[in-house]
A and B are shown apart, each in its own frame.
Chain A
Amino acid sequence: ETGVTQTPRHLVMGMTNKKSLKCEQHLGHNAMYWYKQSAKKPLELMFVYNFKEQTENNSVPSRFSPECPNSSHLFLHLHTLQPEDSALYLCASSRELAGGNEQFFGPGTRLTVL
């Protein structure tokens, strides 16, 4: 499809659980992103990685912990989440951060926190 895959596609977790979301891009890109998409709200950029280095953390609560072991893989580790964290979590990649490069998105993980 778009060259960006995300697993799992759906996740239901309790507030005391620990889980991880995985993203993999097959496009040879250098920048990767995590977004949160909630109903009736604009996409919220959470984290940005460029060449495996984190360059943005948009005031995201510490219960969300990103990890980027290499330019092709991105994880989002979740622990002690709140019901308001229920949303669609989208991963994206782009060739580089600067310039007019478009981002390519994965299909997302639909997260429900009980």
Chain B
Amino acid sequence: EVQLVESGGGVVRPGGSLRLSCAASGFTFDDYGMSWVRQAPGKGLEWVSGINWHGGGTGYADSVKGRFTISRDNAKNSLYLQMNSLRAEDAALYHCARADHVAFDYWGQGILVTVSS
């Protein structure tokens, strides 16, 4: 059974940093690209960042470019999102999702990030 479990969320002050992790199981992790997708309270889905199977290709939404860094450790079946210079508008539920070619076929339940002074 495919499982994606996010961790590392919490409350952080504006300008602060946080590192999210996503532990993958039930599939061959390095066969798939991965992405982070977020959802602010009461709002829609927003794609944040993606990475290809070996980590050599990455992409970012304009809203996070230069502040967030996606990475993966295939030996640990893990995906990461380093978030720096956090803003109030970054507060959201962050999901990791498996990319099967151009669609996201499995999603984690998400981890909450709160940005507040």
A and B pair up: no
Q: A residues within 8 Å of B by Cβ?
A: none
